[in-house]
Structure 1
Amino acid sequence: MLKLKADLHLHSVLSPCGDLLMTPEEIVKKAKKEGVEVAALTDHNTAENVEVFEFFCEKHNLKFIPAMEAETKEEIHILCYFPDLKSLLKWQEIVYGRLPQQKNDEDFFGPQIKCDFKDDYQAKVKHLLAGAVDLSLEQCLAQVRELGGIAVPSHLDRKHSIISQLGFIPPELNLITAEISKNTKPEIVLEKFSYLNELQFMQNSDSHYLKEIKAYQRLIVKEFSFIEFKKAVQKEEGRKIELIKT
């Protein structure tokens, strides 16, 4: 089995809260410097920088998973991963169709910047990306699955998590994996929520600044592919996610 260091929760300048230095190539270069082998750009409710991010991942020999962090109707953040850019962009169409028809307030949320293949600022996305999508958690999970993707609830120990919003994880969701933030440890989460002991934890940097990028986990897979990644998320056939002790 391969053990691939992965950071699968990263925000570029397109996310309202992303630092202006978080351009796709600068993210890739910092990830490579930190020994990250697999990366996913997960901007808020958008994938407009993902194609450029994929271009720079290929340029710098960094493995790549198409992704987005969506916010459900209940204000739950979920990490959505897809087998290819085409399916991710179909998901983006769905998300854009269910976002509030409201302009971004740059003074409050910050600019939302799309980059070009030279890693320069190309344009600003004007409609608000920081809001919730008019789809329930169950609807989002189902839509992602229909597109061949897989979703992982974000940062269980923070606000805008499935626990902070619902108070528990509905058993009918049959979740195998959920993310914890880089600011905690599995034993701390389990001490507070002992019923989560059957879950596999994912841990990412959730970086909004270049200095935060770091691998907190390894993907245990036979080879790198989206199929193998899905097996790791679902803990199938010996594939899994292994946290790096820090």
Structure 2
Amino acid sequence: MLKLKADLHLHSVLSPCGDLLMTPAEIVKKASEIGLQVVALTDHNSAANAAVFKYFCEKFNLYFIPAMETETKEEIHILCYFPGLSSLFEWQEIVYNHLPDQANDEDFFGPQIECDYTDQYSAKINRLLATAIDLNLADCLLKVKKLGGIVVPSHLDRSNSILSQLGFIPPEIKLSTVEISKNTTPTRMIGKYPWLKNYQFMQNSDSHYLQEIQSYQNLLIAETGFSFQEFKFCLEKINGRGIEIINT
């Protein structure tokens, strides 16, 4: 198996909480400098910077996974990964159609900035992205799956997680992988919730600042090389693929 260092939860200046230095090119440069090989930009309820991010990933020879962090009706954050930009943008249209008609409060949340292919600020999204859509968790999972994507619940040990909102993971949604933040470990989580031993853990930086970007995991994939299908196999633990948490 090949081991690829990955950080699959990153926020750009498009996310209301993203630092103004978190432009697509600067994120990719930092990721390359620290030896990351696979990255995903997971802005809140939007993929408006995804195409530019992909462009810079290709320039720096990093594998790119189209992605978004979505907030469900239950206020659960989920990481949604897709096989291509077209399916990601289809998901973005669904998300936009289910966002409340509310303007962003820049003084409270900060600006929501789109960047161009020169990595300059090009526009602002004025609609509030830091909020829940009116689709529940089950509906989100079904729609992402229909688009060929796959979902991982975000940061189980923090607020706006499936555990903070529901207190458990509904067995009918049939997840194999869950995410924890950099502030905990699989051992701690299983100690608190013994039933989590049945799940595989993903651990990402959830970076909002350049200095936070770091690899906490390896993706274990076939020797034939990286593809979205191999990534799905990692999340589903198929034929020896999986995720290896790195001790940092």
Band of TM-score, shorter chain: over 0.9
Q: Which runs of 5+ in 2 are unaligned?
A: none
Q: Deviations over 1:27-74 (max 9, x none)?
A: 000001111100000000000000000000001111100000000000
User: Quick one: distance in 2 between partners of 1:241 and 1:187?
Assistant: 15
User: Quick one: distance in 2 between partners of 1:11 and 1:76?
Assistant: 17
User: Quick one: distance in 2 between partners of 1:230 and 1:76?
Assistant: 22
Q: Please give the residue correspondences for 1:1-246 in structure 2 after superposition, counting only pairs within 5 Å.
A: 1-222=1-222, 223-246=225-248
Q: Percent identity?
A: 68
User: Quick one: distance in 2 between partners of 1:80 and 1:178?
Assistant: 12
The letter of the residue matching 1:87 is S
Q: Deviations over 1:74-94 (max 9, x none)?
A: 000000000000000000000
Q: Cα distance, 1:245 vs. partner?
A: 1.2
User: Quick one: distance in 1 between partners of 2:125 and 2:211?
Assistant: 25
The letter of the residue matching 1:224 is F
SS at match of 1:90: helix
Q: Cα distance, 1:236 vs. partner?
A: 0.5
Q: Deviations over 1:77-121 (max 9, x none)?
A: 000000000000000000000001000000000000000000000
Q: Deviations over 1:208-241 (max 9, x none)?
A: 0000000100000012000000000000011101
User: Quick one: distance in 2 between partners of 1:32 and 1:87?
Assistant: 26
The letter of the residue matching 1:235 is K
SS at match of 1:117: coil
The letter of the residue matching 1:60 is F
The letter of the residue matching 1:239 is R
User: Quick one: distance in 2 between partners of 1:139 and 1:217?
Assistant: 29
Q: Cα distance, 1:171 vs. partner?
A: 1.0
Q: How many residues align?
A: 246
Q: Deviations over 1:164-210 (max 9, x none)?
A: 00011111111100000011111111111111111000000000000
User: Quick one: distance in 2 between partners of 1:144 and 1:67?
Assistant: 11
TM superposition score normalised by structure 1: 0.99
The letter of the residue matching 1:226 is F
The letter of the residue matching 2:90 is K
User: Quick one: distance in 2 between partners of 1:41 and 1:131?
Assistant: 18
User: Quick one: distance in 2 between partners of 1:24 and 1:16?
Assistant: 15
Q: Which runs of 5+ in 1 are unaligned?
A: none
User: Quick one: distance in 2 between partners of 1:14 and 1:245?
Assistant: 30
The letter of the residue matching 2:135 is L
User: Quick one: distance in 2 between partners of 1:239 and 1:136?
Assistant: 30
SS at match of 2:4: strand
TM superposition score normalised by structure 2: 0.99
User: Quick one: distance in 2 between partners of 1:213 and 1:110?
Assistant: 20
User: Quick one: distance in 2 between partners of 1:145 and 1:215?
Assistant: 27
